[in-house]
Amino acid sequence: MNNSSHPFGSINVSKIILPIVIGLGVVAWLFWREFDPKTFDNMIFTWKAVVFLLLAFILMFSRDFGYMIRIRVLSDNRLTWRQAFRIIMLWEFTSSVTPSAIGGTSVAILFVNKEGISLGKSSSIVLATSFLDELYFIVMFPILLLTVNINRLFTIGDHSGFINEFFWFAIIGYSIKLVYTIIVSYGLFINPRGLKWLLLQIFRLPFLKRWKHQINEAGYEIIVSSNELRRKPFMFWVKAFGSTAFSWTSRYWVANMIILAFFFLPKFGDHFLIFARQFVMWIMQLIAPTPGGSGFAEGIFTRYLGDVIPVNDLELAGSLAVVLALVWRLISYYPYLIVGAFIVPKWIKNKFADKTKATTP
């Protein structure tokens, strides 16, 4: 099979190893710069740690389960639970080996289509998921700014004032998401023909170009599906957005569970601050040029969340943050690379096998 004949044709072992090397390399550098031998004296591994780390894994599973519910809702339950799981894992794997700004959305249409959904319907499903994801960010960010003290949200260490690189990263990232959401909303609910044009531009990318004519032929079907989405009842969108909010909220509580595994946070406000900072971190990762934000995510976690670790020694907090950043990525990122490495080859074989080849009895 020619590698170029499927969406993973340009993804080889090196592209799976690269984000791991980058991420662990940054962690190693942070260890060399920040590590304090007293770090592990403050991280006692007890049954409490086991319970909260297990909860962190459960929250990551809950996040994917929410995505599975959503894609089944958007497909009118035409996708089975197994198909929904496969699509989500393939989607997450693609996002893990591509820069954060690109993600897996562009090829997700093909994942859904290869599971038996028409090309036009697949396009509408994927664009609806993208719209719902961005809508969650658009709605939640102002709520967080009104709920969390803005100085606590953006001020790091002893620095005075919140106007710093974290603040500007968040504002720029939010602006990009807002513009994107407006464009997608316009395409889905006002001008589906404009949406078709946008898809054709996306499918000019080298690794997607072979499907450009199919996308063009599916233009009418995209318009029909868009009209179908506009006619969906209110409860349809409540279920779709509810599962989206459940997914992202589950993900943002992972760091809370990791910190609680080794430390005690007496105030609920501290938990909500960590949740809010994770939200801002995800917006910041839009600018990360590395696959899955490798290196960038670990560095941001260390500096941005290290500030809320409940220890009096600021230098020790930095060292502890490096360890927690590694644990965080081991739970929230690396599993998708491992699962994808198992699922992708079998999926390619099943979905892109040359069925025209004669078989001998």
Domain boundaries, the chain: 3-349
Give the pLDDT confidence score for residue 50 in this predicted structure: 92
CB 71, CB 129: distance < 8 Å: yes
Give the pLDDT confidence score for residue 361 in this predicted structure: 42
Of the segments 3-12, 222-231, 335-344, which one has the largest average pLDDT value? 335-344
Quick: pLDDT tens for 67-102. Answer: 999 999 999 999 999 999 999 998 888 877 776 555
Give the pLDDT confidence score for residue 123 in this predicted structure: 79
β-strand partners of 291? 99
3-state secondary structure of 152: helix
Give the model's confidence band at 285: pLDDT under 50 very low, under 70 low, under 90 confident, else very high. Answer: confident
Query: Which H or E element spans position 135?
Result: helix 119-147
Q: Is a pLDDT exceeding 70 seen at residue 56?
A: yes
Give the model's confidence band at 2: pLDDT under 50 very low, under 70 low, under 90 confident, else very high. Answer: very low
Query: Which H or E element spans position 228?
Result: helix 219-230
Q: Give the residue, 42 or 95, on which the prediction is more confident.
A: 95
- Residue 15: CB partners within 8 Å, gap ≥ 6? 97, 291
Q: pTM of the predicted model, to two decimals?
A: 0.80
Quick: pLDDT tens for 98-153. Answer: 765 555 566 788 889 888 888 778 878 888 898 899 999 999 988 888 888 888 88
Q: Give the residue, 228 or 56, on which the prediction is more confident.
A: 56
- In the chain, pLDDT over 90 holds for what percent of residues? 18
Give the model's confidence band at 257: pLDDT under 50 very low, under 70 low, under 90 confident, else very high. Answer: very high
Give the model's confidence band at 14: pLDDT under 50 very low, under 70 low, under 90 confident, else very high. Answer: low
Q: Give the residue, 263 or 160, on which the prediction is more confident.
A: 263
Taking the mean position of all CA atoms in its chain, how far away is CA 84? 16
Backbone dihedral region for residue 117 (phi beyond 0: left; psi -120 to 50: alpha; all else: beta): beta
What's the token pair of residue 57?
């894994």
Give the pLDDT confidence score for residue 232 in this predicted structure: 87
Give the model's confidence band at 357: pLDDT under 50 very low, under 70 low, under 90 confident, else very high. Answer: very low
Q: What is the DSSP string of 154-184?
A: H--TT--SS-SHHHHHHHHHHHHHHHHHHHH
Give the model's confidence band at 161: pLDDT under 50 very low, under 70 low, under 90 confident, else very high. Answer: low
CB 30, CB 325: distance < 8 Å: yes
Q: Is a pLDDT exceeding 90 seen at residue 173?
A: no
CA dihedral 219, 224, 227, 228 (to 10 degrees): -130
Give the model's confidence band at 167: pLDDT under 50 very low, under 70 low, under 90 confident, else very high. Answer: confident
> How many angstroms separate the CA atoms of 109 and 99, rounded?
18
> How many angstroms separate the CA atoms of 176 and 112, rounded?
26
Give the model's confidence band at 170: pLDDT under 50 very low, under 70 low, under 90 confident, else very high. Answer: confident
N-to-C CA span, the chain = 22
Give the model's confidence band at 266: pLDDT under 50 very low, under 70 low, under 90 confident, else very high. Answer: low
Q: Is a pLDDT exceeding 60 seen at residue 34?
A: no
What's the token pair of residue 111?
């994942």
Taking the mean position of all CA atoms in its chain, how far away is CA 270? 24
Q: At what angle do helices 314-332 and 334-352 cross, to 10 degrees?
A: 20
What's the token pair of residue 276?
């809010």
DSSP one-letter code for 104: T
CB 54, CB 322: distance < 8 Å: no
> How many angstroms separate the CA atoms of 245 and 242, rounded?
5
Helices first, then strands: H and E counts in the chain? 16, 0
By CB atoms closer than 10 A (0-12, 13-18, 19+), residue 160 is exposed
- When mean pLDDT is compared across 16-20, 193-197, 267-271, the lowest value belongs to 16-20
CB 297, CB 329: distance < 8 Å: yes
